[in-house]
Amino acid sequence: MQLDHSFTVPADPDDAWKLFLDLGRVAPCMPGAVLDTLDGDTFTGRVKVKVGAVQMSYGGEGTVTRDESARSMFLDLSGSETRGSGTASATVTATLTADPAGTRVRVRTDLDITGRPAQFGRGIMTEVGDRIVQQFATRLEELLRDAGRTGPVAATSGATGTTDGLLPPEPEAVDLGAAALPVLLRKAAGPAAAVLVVAVMVQLLRRRSRR
């Protein structure tokens, strides 16, 4: 399925682009994700999601290529459940353009997912993605503001990880169920209201029959 999202960050396009070049700083802004290793243009990481009481952890790898002149970044991602048979793969294109409010970031994702999250379908996945992207944008804004207070954003490169050689801590699971619930309720509002009316009428008839 193809998903399209966009958001605006309060930064000059050049500064925003420099930040996006630094995956080590940008990756922690993504809810539920943690970057384990970064070696040049290849990286590994983990994502943890939950749907209700069910938690799913994915481990995967990816590569990144960049088009400096177009301020575009291309990610090729693949992963699988660490305890399960679900898989996920995606190609992501992020393009930065000038905007009166700073920099407009447009993200197009071609997603192929199997297992339990696939049950949501494209419509719900799009709106869930919107909520997650907004969380990402909010964290990115905070990062840019911090950078503005400390000086211009500088891109860095190289491997990431803890100094003792251990993997970074487990990511905090992003709750897909909580993100999808408002969408599900809205989609079910009409039928749910009809069922509620029928239930009330049945109860009234039962009371009258008892009388």
The amino acid sitting at 200 is V
The domain ranges of the chain are: 2-210
Least confident of 33-47, 52-66, 162-176: 162-176
86 touches 59 (CB < 8 A): no
**Tens digit of each residue's pLDDT (9 = 90 or more) over 174-199:** 776 665 555 545 554 544 444 444 45
CA distance 185 to 64: 37
Classify strands 33-39 and 42-51 as parallel, antiparallel or unpaired: antiparallel
Q: How is residue 118 annotated by DSSP?
A: G
pTM given for the model? 0.72
Among 74, 88, 81, 86, which Cα is nearest to 21's?
74
Q: What tens digit of pLDDT does each residue of 142-161 get?
A: 888 776 555 555 544 444 44
CATH number of this structure's domain 2-210, picked from the four choices 3.40.630.10, 3.30.530.20, 3.30.70.60, 1.10.10.60:
3.30.530.20
* Calpha distance 33→161 (Å, rounded): 14
Bridge partners for 54 per DSSP = 51
